[in-house]
Amino acid sequence: MMAYIARRILLMIPTLIGIMAVSFLVVQFAPGGPVERVIAQLNGTGVSATARVTGGGGDFAGTPAGAQGGTSGGALKYRGAQGLDPAFVAQLEKQFGFDKPPLERFLLMLKNYGTFHFGESYFRDISVIDLIKEKMPVSISLGLWMTLISYGISIPLGIAKAVRDGSRFDVWTSVAIVIGYAVPGFLFAVLLVVLFAGGSFLDWFPLGGLTSDNWAQLSWPARIVDYLWHLVLPITAMSLSAFATTTLLTKNSFLEEIRKQYVTTARMKGLTEGRILYGHVFRNAMLIVIAGFPAAFVSSFFAGSLLIETIFNLDGLGLLGFESVVNRDYPVVFATLYIFSLVGLILGLISDLTYTWVDPRIDFETRDV
């Protein structure tokens, strides 16, 4: 098993390099860039999500520690640069690191990322890692709670549906799941705000942030309640469509195992249904559900998080990623991509290791990576 883990860890290196290389290549052909955005804002024609440009002579909030993304070239390639000193535009390119060839910038980015040095945001006076840490609590809270709640409800519900296949319970729960899956999460979020967050009816739940303004003055039990109270509406909106896939996947997986010969043999031996279901069927049927956990966990940070964070006024990684792409804040864009790619690869390895815990018969030592 240790040899397999070592192979998987070594395989992460070329995988990460490939992901970053493709993303870097796409950026080279993307229109616009941080230099063009600065020029547009200095000319009064730029539209920015949150970017700040201070000063009239190139005094910008934050400079990149490495060369992360962008397109290099001379001052004449920038539209709207007419009337600006070419030396000033060249200074912008140097400040953002675009005075170097693309290959050199990419290799420098890989070197910095290998030591988890992500530089500073182009348009914010803060390092990228500190910016991500600042937004991380919101995304972790949303992603973790949504995953735990969806799996905690979907797996027992899927098992119950498999045992009662074809019954009224199975039919009505399937109808409810399909309806919940069909309703867009952001639309349900707006409905929750209108009904329960002071929109037009009730004002039961707060909006904005994970805690109240007086959270520091509250007792520990009150802090926990306040934190959970802020999460009720966004987690409900995000989890609505998350039940369908896991529930139906669990049901179909259990149905497939229940119909196999070893279950019939176990019943003939006089084993109880509970022992058959949870002693034999469970570990076989849950393999496919476990396989999808890493993807579900990582996607929970992104799927619908931008709209949910916007609607409920939560400043997390989803909103940060969107603003960074709009503002061409490439250090933030590439750093978040790198971190979540790395997390996804690590969770994939953890998923394989969980296979062996659920079913010790699985041996990864004899399997090619």
Encoded amino acid at 190, one letter: V
Supply the pLDDT for residue 17. Answer: 92
Q: Distance between CA 107 and CA 17 in Å, rounded?
A: 10
Token reading at 111: 């070197």
C-beta separation of 254 from 164 below 8 A? no
pLDDT of residue 82 exceeding 70, the answer is no
Specify the CATH superfamily of domain 131-326. MetI-like (1.10.3720.10)
Identify which of 140-149, 172-181, 204-213, 234-243 has the greatest average pLDDT. 172-181
d(CA 250, CA 225): 32
**341 vs 91, residue with greater confidence:** 341
Per the model's pLDDT, the better-predicted residue between 136 and 60 turns out to be 136
Handedness of CA 306, 308, 311, 314 (dihedral sign): negative
Tally of CB atoms within 10 A around 155: 20
Domain boundaries, the chain: 2-123, 131-326
Q: What is the pLDDT of residues 186-231, one digit of tens each?
A: 888 888 888 888 767 788 888 878 888 888 888 888 889 988 898 8
The confidence score (pLDDT) of residue 180 equals 83
**Residue 76: per-residue pLDDT:** 39
Are 320 and 50 spatial neighbours (Cβ–Cβ below 8 Å)?
no
Here the contacts of 152-158 (C-beta below 8 Å, separation 24 or greater) are 153/243, 153/247, 154/242, 154/243, 154/246, 154/247, 154/250, 155/246, 155/250, 155/286, 155/289, 157/243, 157/247, 157/250, 158/246, 158/247, 158/248, 158/249, 158/250, 158/251, 158/253, 158/254
| Cβ atoms of 62 and 123 closer than 8 Å | yes
- Lowest average pLDDT, out of 44-53, 89-98, 99-108, goes to 44-53
**The residue type at 230:** H
Q: What is the CA radius of gyration of the chain?
A: 25
Q: How far is CA 337 from the centre of its chain?
A: 10
Q: Which helix (H) or strand (E) holds 21?
A: helix 2-29
pTM, whole model, 2 decimals?
0.70
* pLDDT at position 264 over 70: yes
**Lowest-pLDDT range, 89-93, 246-250, 283-287?**
89-93
> How much is the pLDDT for 66?
40
The two tokens of residue 9 are: 């860890």
Nearest-CA neighbor of 130 among 331, 303, 364, 268?
Answer: 331
Contacts of 130 (CB under 8 A, 6+ apart): none
CA distance 245 to 177: 9
Angle value at C-alpha 205, between 200 and 208, nearest 5 degrees: 100
- Of the candidate ranges 111-120, 251-260, 276-285, the one whose mean pLDDT is the lowest: 276-285
Kindly report, residue by residue over 334-355, the tens digit of the pLDDT.
Answer: 998 898 888 878 877 877 777 7
The 8 Å CB, 24+ separation contacts for 171-175 are 173/247, 174/248
User: Residue 78 pLDDT > 60, yes or no?
Assistant: no
State pLDDT tens for residues 269-305.
Answer: 888 888 888 877 887 787 777 766 666 666 666 555 7
Query: How does DSSP classify residue 218?
Result: S
Q: Compute the mean pLDDT over every residue in the chain, rounded to the nearest whole number.
A: 77
